[in-house]
Structure 1
Amino acid sequence: MSDDSMKIDSLQLQGYTVFERQNLQNFGDLNIIIGPNNSGKTSLLRAITKISKIERGRAPLQDSERFYEQQDRRVRLDFSFADENIVLESDNMGSLELPGEGSFDEPDVLFCETERLTDYKNTNLDEFLSDQLQSVDSEKFLNALNEIVDPNIADLYGSLTGGGDLQLSTSDQDGNTLRHELNRHGSGVKSIAMLLADIYAADPDTLLIDEPEMGLYPAAKRRFLKLLLELSEVHQVFITTQDASFVNPLFWRDSEQDISVYHYSVSRNMQGRQPFLDLEVNEPSTFAGFLPQATSIKDYHLYVEGKDDVKVIRSYLHSFLDRAASGETQGDLLDRTEIYHLNGNNWEHFLSTIPSSPYSSVVLLDNDMDGQADNVIRRYEESGYQSFPDFVKCEDTVDIRENLRNSTVPVYLLNHDDISDYIGVDNKQDIAEEAWNKEVIPREIVNVFYSLYEEELSSHEVVKDRIGKENTRPYPPKPTDKLSMDPTTEAKKQITDAIEEYVRVVKPDGEIVPSPKLDQLDTHSQITAILLGMRAGAMSGVLKETEAEASVEELSRKIKATKNTVMSAKNQLQFITSKDGKVYIADQDLEDAAQYLLEGSD
């Protein structure tokens, strides 16, 4: 903004519309207010207009502008400028009063409300432009229209003083000149032309635009944001939007203008705190947690707290799919999956940006967020906003799968307080490289991926040409017809279910927690299921071979069996040992497993 004396530095509101209290600091040249409908965005702009409506020390105040929960509460607006502070307080006469007898230079304010689209639609474009642009440099107007609507616009024909239809001159690919009556263009072109005319004709100190992206197609939105950035060199600009895709920080990465962004927080509002918070905008990745997903065409979304979490989870995802899927499926799933961060400690505020079904979204938080997660989820549930998905805290990775089936967004607390604990590094600068170099994926993370891709990997596909290759642990085949137990087919299905669930409930410390489904089986079937689960876990990387003995030793204290039962169970595993002529786990490992079970049995 060229004249800093007219620049508003901050605004404090008390008892105004939906705000019991709100303090917005550090206004810049371009100020962006992001939030859903009915969050108070427009009210913030209306509050700013009060500074330009003071006559004889008073500004108008409608009853509807008083705090909705306490109509008799005092309304107070504090404006901070470079050289002075202005306070407006409600009085008994239904207006805002400027205390004392001081005077100040009021900034010129132009407020473009959302109702402008209806007004523009019912207005003759030629007459409007002729009236508004009489004192405006038509070249400046054309350049702006050219930049937003059509880069091929060459000129504007017709009289700006009336007496003829205005026409746009454009050029086709062959250089031929084409003329179009401006009044016959679509409503989007007409509305942007009239909005630009309003702006250039008013030439305000402060420009307020409520949802400037309305009526614009995606490319025009991006161009208009660039124009607003240019306008902020001369005017102080405030805009509101609920379209996160409209706010792209890459456009101002190299700008010399001061940009401020304020985001509505459902969580803060439900606590009775000030709902809008400042965002750090100097680093574009701050926005990576909530901008791209607004227009994402990815099927699978993984949300983590910070940038380091993104690096680690992305590394593990590549390793997991390299082992779990064929080349074609692997590439397809990678292409259909994206990992976003929620700006670290601000994660609770940005949950509102997560889209609901048909996306399959999972939120992963560090374990130290356990208590906070319960409270945040409850606040979102009680907020009343229907546009937000249903968030459900998951006790284990099995719950992730169930919630995805129900089209809710699972929120899962990892077993560690920091992502670096999985990597074992003190310097987080090395975390990405160390994650890529890890040969073994933590079983907990594998379980998360398996739950996310349940439908894609339902067959537990095995890449036959990779079996036995170095550092390759194919995902376990699903044992079905080859599990030749004596009991009925239904018993086989129960065993299969128990095996699958067993793999998902192996704890990170190596302890095996038998599935509840195991309790429904006889001892012989239990041991078969558990040994199969161990085999599957080792093959998938969930359970390493080196952990097998310790795991079975722990298991031996839980299950009692006779020698014949153990050996019979061991024999049921032979078909996996030599499936396709490839040895997944040596026979000796199975003998050791059976022996440990036997030693632990009475």
Structure 2
Amino acid sequence: MPLEKIEILGFRGFSSKQSLTFSLPNGEDGGGLTIITGANNSGKSSIIECLKARAGHQSPSFTVGARNSAVDSVEITYVFDGNEEKVKSLKKGSSESKKEGVNDKNHVFVLPSRRAFNPFFSRGAHSREQYLLNDGLSAQRSSMMNNFQYRLFNILENQEEFNKILHKVLTFKPEWSIDQSDQGQYFLKFYSGEFSHTSDGMGEGVVSIFAIVDSLYDSKPGDTIVIDEPELSLHPALQKRLFGLLKEYSKDRQIIISTHSPYFVDIPSILKGASLIRVVNRGEGTEIFQLSQESREILDKLAKGNIYNPHTFGLDARELFFQEDGIVVVEGQEDVVLFPKIADQLSMTIAASFFGWGAGGAPNIGFICYFLKDLGFKKVGAILDGDKASEIPREALNKSPKSAIIRPSSIA
């Protein structure tokens, strides 16, 4: 059954109850994607941990560091197909918790951002279900994946299917096996022509892709797969190929990702149903902001192309989803180039980030400000020609964050 919603109170930065609604697969590429963005230490990984907290044989223990001191107890609510499940503290000030109504048949496969594993391991095999039952929330954020090595034996038995998916991301056809040392330890062996090397010499990027493909290859339609920072250790070309794979799988599965990479914020996917989330912590606790239907309609309008600025939501503009407050929206790309030069000449510093390469014209500025408000931005400035002020739709500007609007009479 699909995971519709999560509510979090008292876990790490969540001093007040926050909720997040997930996208549901709709048969479209990207339709089942939920993309979680935000600056470092905003609380993105905490959401991933909360999704993992319901897994495992036993109820998790919420350590003193995992409990928000202002609340000192944790309550996490999950909604699957209209049915509520809860994981919550037994009492305030206690590490121990209990599960209420948790259905183990509702599988949520969570892959942490730290995807290294012990290169030498013992023999064992974990099905997808066994892996989930043995992979609950740990007391500390580990630098290693637990139990992943046991998944490798399952992968080996289904290597053809696994490699077919792996090749969609890697540019070469991988050849690998599991071997055993004379000391009895098992290890991965990779072949490169006539030569081979062990898992101890695997690059972090290959290890990461291996783990991500493992989360997908034996999944079933309707499953939920959560991946924290899928872009880690991957160069841009591999990031784009990997996102294409996740987008493909999100047709009939829920794919939830937390990311710092603009390559994983895909406008066409959002227009087809993907959810865009921005997580913020301004020092008063973690807050979750989610793109509304009105902003989707604005995004549709702005993303259709503009002969004056075809990159309104290009790669540079998408970087704003990972930034703190302080955004300046200007009309066009020449403004993005010239205003910093003017500031240099005046020995001034612009303590803000420009929105991409401009809004693509003054009429778009109000709509972009509305879009930014939806995602929780509070400090937004706009600079436009004085004779263009009347072109900003007032209904969009009235709903925008409180912003400073500078209207120079002319721009040299």
TM-score, normalization by structure 2:
0.62
Select 2:289's aligned residue among 274, 277, 281: 277
Determine helix, strand or coil for the equivalent of 1:148: coil
CA distance in 2, matches of 1:54, 1:125: 23
CA deviation profile, 1:518-553 (whole Å, cap 9, x unmatched): xxxxxxxxxxxxxxxxxxxxxxxxxxxxxxxxxxxx
**How much has 1:30 moved relative to structure 2?**
1.8
Residue in 2 that maps onto 1:231: 249
Distance 1:45 1:443, change over 3 A: closer
Residue in 2 that maps onto 1:260: 275
Distance 1:445 1:339, change over 3 A: farther
**How much has 1:445 moved relative to structure 2?**
4.7
Instruction: Report whether the alignment pairs 1:338 with 2:357.
Output: yes
Determine helix, strand or coil for the equivalent of 2:408: helix
CA deviation profile, 1:166-215 (whole Å, cap 9, x unmatched): 4457xxxxxxxx56636455332233224423553677933221111000
Select 1:197's aligned residue among 174, 197, 214: 214
Kindly indicate whether the alpha-carbon contact (under 8 Å) linking 2:14 and 2:285 is maintained by their aligned counterparts in 1: no
Determine helix, strand or coil for the equivalent of 1:275: strand
CA distance in 2, matches of 1:187, 1:217: 11
More strand by percentage:
2
CA deviation profile, 1:244-276 (whole Å, cap 9, x unmatched): 3432334x3786xx411101245xx46x58622
Residue in 1 that maps onto 2:156: 134
The letter for the 1-side match of 2:40 is N
The letter for the 1-side match of 2:241 is R
CA distance in 1, matches of 2:314, 2:290: 15
Instruction: Report whether the alignment pairs 1:15 with 2:10.
Output: yes
Residue in 1 that maps onto 2:48: 45
Kindly indicate whether the alpha-carbon contact (under 8 Å) linking 2:239 and 2:263 is maintained by their aligned counterparts in 1: no
Kindly indicate whether the alpha-carbon contact (under 8 Å) linking 1:34 and 1:41 is maintained by their aligned counterparts in 2: yes
Kindly indicate whether the alpha-carbon contact (under 8 Å) linking 2:43 and 2:280 is maintained by their aligned counterparts in 1: no
Query: Which runs of structure 2 are paired with 1:280-359 in the superposition (5 Å)?
Result: 280=295, 283=299, 285=302, 288=312, 291-293=315-317, 310=331, 313=332, 338-340=357-359, 343-347=368-372
Distance 1:444 1:52, change over 3 A: same
Residue in 1 that maps onto 2:346: none
Distance 1:88 1:161, change over 3 A: same
Residue in 1 that maps onto 2:267: 249
CA deviation profile, 1:549-568 (whole Å, cap 9, x unmatched): xxxxxxxxxxxxxxxxxxxx
Determine helix, strand or coil for the equivalent of 1:60: coil
Residue in 2 that maps onto 1:492: none
Residue in 1 that maps onto 2:136: none
CA deviation profile, 1:38-93 (whole Å, cap 9, x unmatched): 111111111111222464xx44322222113342xx42212111141123332135
The letter for the 2-side match of 1:188 is G
Determine helix, strand or coil for the equivalent of 1:9: strand
Residue in 2 that maps onto 1:143: 164
**Aligned residues with identical type, % of pairs:** 19
Q: Could you list the runs of 5+ residues in structure 1 that have no partner in the other structure?
A: 170-177, 297-302, 319-336, 353-375, 378-390, 392-410, 429-441, 451-602
Distance 1:215 1:253, change over 3 A: same
More helix by percentage:
1
Kindly indicate whether the alpha-carbon contact (under 8 Å) linking 2:212 and 2:230 is maintained by their aligned counterparts in 1: no
Select 1:35's aligned residue among 22, 34, 38: 38
Kindly indicate whether the alpha-carbon contact (under 8 Å) linking 2:208 and 2:232 is maintained by their aligned counterparts in 1: no
The letter for the 1-side match of 2:115 is R
Distance 1:274 1:168, change over 3 A: same
CA distance in 2, matches of 1:212, 1:186: 15
Distance 1:242 1:281, change over 3 A: farther
Kindly indicate whether the alpha-carbon contact (under 8 Å) linking 1:41 and 1:240 is maintained by their aligned counterparts in 2: yes
Higher relative contact order structure (alpha carbons within 8 Å, sequence separation ≥ 6): 2
- When the two chains are superposed, the root-mean-square deviation of aligned CA atoms in Å is 4.6
Residue in 2 that maps onto 1:496: none
CA deviation profile, 1:67-120 (whole Å, cap 9, x unmatched): 13342xx42212111141123332135333345xx5634423332222223x3x
The letter for the 2-side match of 1:444 is P
The letter for the 1-side match of 2:357 is E
Kindly indicate whether the alpha-carbon contact (under 8 Å) linking 2:271 and 2:296 is maintained by their aligned counterparts in 1: no
The letter for the 2-side match of 1:263 is R
**How much has 1:343 moved relative to structure 2?**
2.6
Kindly indicate whether the alpha-carbon contact (under 8 Å) linking 2:178 and 2:187 is maintained by their aligned counterparts in 1: yes
CA distance in 1, matches of 2:63, 2:409: 56
Determine helix, strand or coil for the equivalent of 2:106: coil
Kindly indicate whether the alpha-carbon contact (under 8 Å) linking 1:26 and 1:260 is maintained by their aligned counterparts in 2: yes
CA deviation profile, 1:404-455 (whole Å, cap 9, x unmatched): xxxxxxx466697x9551x5999x9xxxxxxxxxxxxx98252xx34xxxxx
Determine helix, strand or coil for the equivalent of 2:36: strand
Structure with bigger gyration radius: 1
Residue in 1 that maps onto 2:107: 108
**Residues paired across the two proteins, number:** 320
Determine helix, strand or coil for the equivalent of 1:68: coil
Residue in 2 that maps onto 1:517: none
CA deviation profile, 1:314-360 (whole Å, cap 9, x unmatched): 79999xxxxxxxxxxxxxxxxxx9214683324357797xxxxxxxx
Distance 1:180 1:34, change over 3 A: farther
Residue in 2 that maps onto 1:175: none
